[in-house]
């Protein structure tokens, strides 16, 4: 339970951030628990996250602002492990370095700054810009369907066979996101309908609803999920993994050609050496 000081401070900060939200940031406390805040970071222009909708939580301690919150990002981004506590100087990993003068807006601005950097820490992952752009394009779908676990369909778009490869069992069907962000959820579904995005797979379908065959490696990678789960208030849904098989290195894609080339060079060299020995 929050102390009176924490309640007063967070109430004031909500009023401030509602009137003057920082760029690309919106946030609010849960109706039932003022210590549980939900935020949305919009991917800034000229970054791999441009236009992405990144949802996460801040769990404040009862004695805030004398101790920092636990920070999690639930939406797969290619930057952070979904629903995992992040080790930052502004998070509960470093309570001694937290400044009581810092506010919610300070914390989220710092998180956004760290997200757009390449610095590594506990809870962060490595991915290419291409991978992160793929994640960004699917964030709205992921948030509102729980990664394809929603039972809601779009007439003329949804695949009738929701037990196929896209029917991911992990996730809450977008229930938690819809509860905290009803307006954004409605907007997301409208966009999915306009772009003919299948809620079960996150893939765009053709007008004749026939595009349910094998998909690209990029799409397949983005819909895979780890078997592990997370716990706690922040672990709202099990997140996806970085699409490691997207943008594979040139060497891994051409290793058999290289091996064949090396073998041919070896044979030619052996013959030349053999001919030289016979001539002598």
How confident is the model at residue 140, as a pLDDT?
Answer: 98
pLDDT at 273 over 90: no
| C-beta neighbour count of 158 within 10 angstroms | 19
pLDDT at 42 over 50: yes
How confident is the model at residue 258, as a pLDDT?
Answer: 65
Pairing of strands 36-42, 53-59: antiparallel
Enter the DSSP assignment of 80: B
Higher pLDDT, residue 18 or 213? 18
Q: Is 242 helix (H, G, I), strand (E, B) or coil?
A: coil
State the residue for tokens 């001539």.
Answer: 279
Instruction: Quickly state the pLDDT bin for 171 (edges 50, 70, 90).
Output: confident
- So which residues are the catalytic ones? 87
Domain with CATH 3.10.110.10 in the chain: 4-115
Higher pLDDT, residue 162 or 112? 112
Worst-scoring range by mean pLDDT, 20-29, 170-179, 203-212? 203-212
Q: What is the pLDDT of residues 219-270, one digit of tens each?
A: 555 554 443 434 444 444 444 443 334 344 445 556 666 676 767 776 777 6
Determine the distance from the C-alpha atom of residue 245 to the mean position of all C-alpha atoms in its chain, rounded to a whole number.
Answer: 16
How confident is the model at residue 257, as a pLDDT?
Answer: 64
The domain defined by 4-115 carries CATH number 3.10.110.10: yes
Percent of residues, the chain, with pLDDT higher than 90: 67
Cα-flanking dihedrals φ and ψ of residue 260, to 5°? -65, -40
Q: What is the pLDDT of residues 100-124, one digit of tens each?
A: 999 999 999 999 999 999 999 999 9
Q: Is 4 helix (H, G, I), strand (E, B) or coil?
A: helix
CB-side neighbour CA atoms (13 Å) of 207: 0
Percent of residues, the chain, with pLDDT higher than 70: 71
How confident is the model at residue 23, as a pLDDT?
Answer: 97
* Full strand arrangement of the beta sheet holding 25-29: 25-29, 36-42, 53-59, 70-73
């Amino acid at each position: 339970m929050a102390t009176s000081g924490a309640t007063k401070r967070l109430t004031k900060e909500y009023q401030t951030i509602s009137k003057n939200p920082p760029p690309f940031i919106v946030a609010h406390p849960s109706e039932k628990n003022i210590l549980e805040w939900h935020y949305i970071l919009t991917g800034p222009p000229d970054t791999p996250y441009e236009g992405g909708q990144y949802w996460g939580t801040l769990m404040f301690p009862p004695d805030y602002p004398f101790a920092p919150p636990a920070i999690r990002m639930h939406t797969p981004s290619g930057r952070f492990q979904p629903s995992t506590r992040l080790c930052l100087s502004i998070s509960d990993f470093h309570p001694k370095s937290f400044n009581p003068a810092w506010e919610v807006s300070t914390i989220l601005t710092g998180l956004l700054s760290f997200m757009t950097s390449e610095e590594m820490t506990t809870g962060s992952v490595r991915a290419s810009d291409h991978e992160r752009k793929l994640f960004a394009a699917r964030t709205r779908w992921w948030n509102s369907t729980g990664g394809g676990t929603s039972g809601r369909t779009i007439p003329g778009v949804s695949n009738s066979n929701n037990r196929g490869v896209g029917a991911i069992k992990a996730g809450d069907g977008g229930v938690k996101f819809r509860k905290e962000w009803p307006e954004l959820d409605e907007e997301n579904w409208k966009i999915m309908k306009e772009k003919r995005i299948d809620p079960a797979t996150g893939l765009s379908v053709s007008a004749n609803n026939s595009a349910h065959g094998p998909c690209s490696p990029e799409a397949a990678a983005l819909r895979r999920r780890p078997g592990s789960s997370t716990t706690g208030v922040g672990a709202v849904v099990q997140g996806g993994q970085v699409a490691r098989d997207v943008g594979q290195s040139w060497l891994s894609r051409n290793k058999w050609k290289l091996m064949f080339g090396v073998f041919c060079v070896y044979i030619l060299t052996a013959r030349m050496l053999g001919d030289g020995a016979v001539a002598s």
